Amino acid sequence: METLMSILIGLFFAIGTYLILTKSLLRIILGTSIISHGVHLLILTMGGVKAGGPPLLGFEEITFTDPIPQALILTAIVINFATTALFLVLSYRAYKVIGTDNTEKMRGNEDE
């Protein structure tokens, strides 16, 4: 399962990178979201999947899945959500002010 997950994570990274390299701001944000999914799954996979029951003591199992990666991912998800929301609003504002979501047209400033 880990091998399959590794390939899937690689695919996520590839798709995310491709989206980030495009011109449209929306697609860049989509790309970062996909990459963050990849990262979350990567953390989980590296901790080993399906090694036991869910990390809840009430289940009375002998082995449990590693709880640390899950705690890390939970933190990462929330932070990722915060930044995504911020970037979304930022790009929305940029679109409103500049009138484009094409990053190639956002180049340069008066100082140059």
Partner 1 sequence: MSLLHLAIISPFLLAVLVPILYKLFKKVHTGWFILPLPLVLFVYFVSFVSATSTSQPIIESFTWIEALGIEFTAKIDGLGLLFALLITGIGTLVILYSIYYLSKDKEKLNTFYVYLLLFMGAMLGVVLSDNLIVLYAFWELTSFSSFLLIGYWYDREKSRYGAQKSMLITVFGGLSMLGGIILLYIMTGTFSISEIIAQSDVIFTHPLFVPALLCILLGAFTKSAQFPFHIWLPDAMEAPTPVSAYLHSATMVKAGIYLVARMSPVFADHALWLWLIAGFGIVTLFWGSFSAVKQTDLKAILAFSTISQLGMIMSLLGIGAAALHFDGIDDKYHTIATTAAVFHLINHATFKGSLFMVVGIVDHETGTRDIRRLGGLMQLMPITFTLAIIGSFSMAGLPPFNGFLSKEMFFTAMTHIIDFNVFQLDTWGILFPVIAWIASVFTFIYSMILVFKTFTGKFQPEKLEKKPHEAPIGMLISPIILASLVIIIGFFPNILSVNIIEPALSAIMPEFLFEVHISFWHGFNLELWMTIGVIVLGTLLYLSLAKWRKIYGLFPEKLALNKAYDHGLLFAQNGSLKMTRMYMNGSIRSYLIYIFAFFIAILSSVLFSQNAFKIDLEHASDVRYYEILLVAVIVIASVAILFAKSRLTSVILLGAVGYTVALFFVNFRAPDLALTQLVIETISVSLFLLCFYHLPKKRNEERMAFKATNLVISIGVGAVVTLIALSAHSTKLFESISQYYVENTYTEAAGKNMVNVILVDFRGFDTLFEIVVLAIASIGIYAMIKLRMKGAK
* Interface of this chain with partner 1, residues 17 to 56, rule: CB under 8 A: 17-24, 26-27, 30, 33-34, 37-38, 40-42, 44-56
SS3 76: helix
Q: Phi/psi class of residue 50: alpha, beta or left (left: φ > 0; alpha: ψ in -120 to 50)?
A: left
Q: Is 111 in the site for partner 1 (CB under 8 A)?
A: no
Structure tokens at 61: 């199992």
Q: CB atoms < 10 A from the CB of 74, how many?
A: 11
CB of 102 to partner 1, least distance (A): 10
Maximum distance among all Cα pairs of the chain, rounded to whole angstroms: 66
Binders of partner 1 among 51-80, rule CB under 8 A? Answer: 51-58, 64-68, 70-71, 73-75, 77-79
Tell me the number of residues near partner 1 by CB under 8 A.
84
- Residue 52 CB, shortest distance to partner 1, in Å, is 7
What residues does 102 pair with on adjacent strands?
24
Which residues within the stretch 81-110 sit at the binding site for partner 1 (CB under 8 A)? 81-86, 88-93, 95-97, 101, 103-104, 106-108
